[in-house]
Structure 1
Amino acid sequence: MNAMDNTSCFLFSISLLVSFFIVCLSTSITNLTTDQFALLAVRDPITRNPEDVLASNWSTTSLVCNWVGVSCGLRHHRVTALNLSRMGLQGTIAPHLGNLAFLVSLDISHNNFYGYVPQELARLHQRKSVCNTTTSVERELQILSLSLNGFNGGIPREIGSLHMLKELYLGRNNLKGVIPSEIGNLQSLEVMNLIDSSLTGFIPSSIFNISSLKIINFSNNSLSGSFPVHMCNHLPKLGGLYLSRNQLNMQIPSNLYKSRELQSLSLSINSFNGCKPREIGNLTILNELYLDENNLEGTLPDEIGNLSLEMSLEIA
């Protein structure tokens, strides 16, 4: 290859490299504007903002990554986390929230938001890639916290599309209806908290196949019926199971011992029947056990004596 050919190849390579950076830069600018527009649309239906934080801080005169409650990725400058918890905010949630394509964590708990949980949150399940000089960065929602608000209606089935979700907090709202079976699709889920939400119907059996689950808290609802007797066959990491104050009517599963990480078991104030399972004595790290106010029969199994002497125990 002669000198002219070498020069041509070099210039061609430089041209490709420059084009690559221009594409990435223009994409970053476009995406930044997209995130800014989405957040401003989220701000608009908020009718109460006690300290006027969002009105004064969420301004087009400053970079969106500097807005209060907003966190961005270091390289691609996309919004990756939104934390508006405990700000005394009131209003509805605009569907534009689903346009924050790289959002990993959303926490708007401890406010006074109301209305339906937006189905558009399901758009946050799609994997998005941003180019930079070394690699491709992928983002998908992993933490969703909407608890302690006034949301009503049902739990959107579309939440089952958030396949990378690890923590789901919807408790202490005015939600009604059943737990959608689609939540069983969340195979990365570690924490599921639906406490005190007026939910009814059966607990979907698909939930007990999520092997990553560490905490299940459905306390203080109106859940009824039973759940699979083999429920603990696929929950090896379960550390806390909270089902108290419901209307569950079945025998306590004898295979609870298969969840060997279980530390807290709360089944009180239901309609559990049958005998107190001896197998509970095999849960060697259990330190909280609440079985009171059920229809259980028989005496306390001797195997309970295998448990920690420091544990909280209510079985009457």
Structure 2
Amino acid sequence: MASSAMTKTNITTDQLALFTLKSQIISDPFHFLDESWSFATSVCHWVEVTCGSHHQRVKSLNLNFNSIEAQIPKVIGNLRELKLRGNNLIGSIPLSLSNASRLETLDISYNSLQGNIPEEISNLHNMKVLSIQDNQLTGSIPFIIFNISRIEVIAFSGNSLSGYLPYGLCNGLPTLKGLYLWKKKLCGHMPTSFSNCSLLQILALPDNEFGGPMHSEFGRLINLQILELGMNRFTGAFHLMNTSTIVSYNFRILIFCTLISGIIPQEIENLVNLVELAMEKNHITGSVPISTFNISLLQILSVWENNLSGFLPREISSLIELEQLRLAFNSFGGSLPMEIFNISGLRVIDLTNNNLSGSLPPNRGIDKPYFLL
């Protein structure tokens, strides 16, 4: 009986917490919660509410993309998942959110939240997914957040955050799989601890103000699939481009558009899962190795505005999945291989400002709006 009474009290507590959330709603244009959230119905049957099968406590609330205008409530009960992505949340992130000790997923991206990211979030030791992208947050990223040892995804992109990243960023993040920090005002050198994030799959840091040399840390991330470092201020040689350890990579997307130098190694053919290779506006020299055209899944090859030279081989037609070929503003010479036009899915060819010669095959090129030759 005591257990039953406690369950009822807990359920009532969860129900009251959700009604608190409902009371914070300023606008619900789709009337999503009007009828479904009421005392006449068990909270476990409310729309977008999920209860645990064993303890019958509310564990998940998913109100993504409902155009709801509201503030984040100060009390959220026993929730393990709070998903409010793509609404019109206003105000700031309440400090009391740190009391939700069971919270594992907090997704409040694509809203209109303001203020800072509170340090108190670091008290959420069970947090696995922390997504606060595309809001209007300012200030710096609290370093203490990188001490949440169970976290798997950190996504703060698309805010006006500034400052540095701690050099030991990965020292306390053994389970991190995704780090999304693009389009911000972060600066300084890259952390030197990325090799400790051994499970990292996605590292997206483009459109910041990072500078200094590239480290060799990425060479030890054997699970890394997407690496985006474009629109920063890196200089010097990128070690990934000069090492045979590239054979162990599972890259699908490799993007770095900055001021790096070096050559494209022959070993790049070992990136058998690569679908996008973008190395634009760098100081890369040499030629595009023939081995590049052995990557059968490649859809985008973009190396425009570098110091590349040499001939374009016929083997380029082996890229049967290729959709975009962007080689403009280099020094490629020789004849334009006609085999390029046999790639049926090719939609973009940009070879302008090179030293290529030859003519177009009959009825090829003129019917494609993005063929710049």
TM value normalised by structure 1: 0.72
CA contact (8 A) 1:58 1:64 kept: no
1:58 corresponding residue in structure 2: 97
Q: Give 1:243's aligned residue.
A: 279
| Counterpart residue identity of residue 113, structure 1 | L
CA contact (8 A) 1:93 1:113 kept: yes
Tell me, in whole angstroms, the C-alpha distance in 1 between the residues paired with 2:125 and 2:169: 21
1:77-156 alignment, distance < 5 Å: 78-126=126-174, 140-156=175-191
Q: Once the 2 structures are TM-superposed, how far is the Cα of residue 67 of structure 1 from its aligned partner?
A: 8.7
In the TM superposition, residue 174 of structure 1 has moved relative to its aligned partner by 0.4
Which of 223, 245, 261 is the aligned partner of 1:188?
223
Distance between the aligned counterparts of 1:188 and 1:279, measured in 2? 29
Secondary structure at 2:145 match in 1: helix
- Sort the Cα spacing of 1:201 and 1:209 in 2 relative to 1 into closer, same or farther, 3 A: farther
Counterpart residue number, 2:319: 283
2:253–2:277 CA contact under 8 A, matched in 1:
yes
Corresponding residue number in structure 1 for 2:214: 179
Return the offset for 1:68: 5.2
Cα 1:122–1:77 change in 2 (3 A) is closer
Q: Please state if 1:214 is matched with 2:244.
A: no
2:239 is the counterpart of 1:201: no
User: Which residue does 2:192 correspond to in 1?
Assistant: 157
Change (3 A) 1:314 1:67: closer
**SS of alignment partner, residue 136 of structure 2:** coil
Deviation at 1:120, TM superposition (A): 3.7
Aligned residues: percent identity? 26
Local SS of the residue matching 2:249: coil
Flag the 1:286–1:68 CA change in 2: closer, same or farther, 3 A. closer
C-alpha deviations, 1:147-202, integer Å up to 9, x for none?
11111011112112211001100100000112211111110011001111111111
RMSD over aligned Cα atoms = 2.3
User: Mind listing any 5+ residue stretches in structure 1 that lack a counterpart?
Assistant: 1-49, 71-75, 127-139
Distance 1:77 1:198 in 2: 34
The secondary structure found in structure 1 opposite 2:321 is: coil
1:215–1:238 contact (8 Å) kept in structure 2: yes
Find 2:293's aligned residue among 244, 257, 268.
257
Q: CA deviation at 1:53?
A: 2.1
Superposition deviation, residue 64 in structure 1: 5.8
* Aligned length in residues: 246
Q: Distance in 2 between matches of 1:152 and 1:184?
A: 22
- With normalisation by structure 2, the TM-score equals 0.61
Q: 1:270 aligns with which of 286, 289, 306?
A: 306
* Structure with more helix by fraction: 1
- Residue 192 of structure 1 contacts residue 216 of structure 1 at CA under 8 Å; is this kept in 2? yes
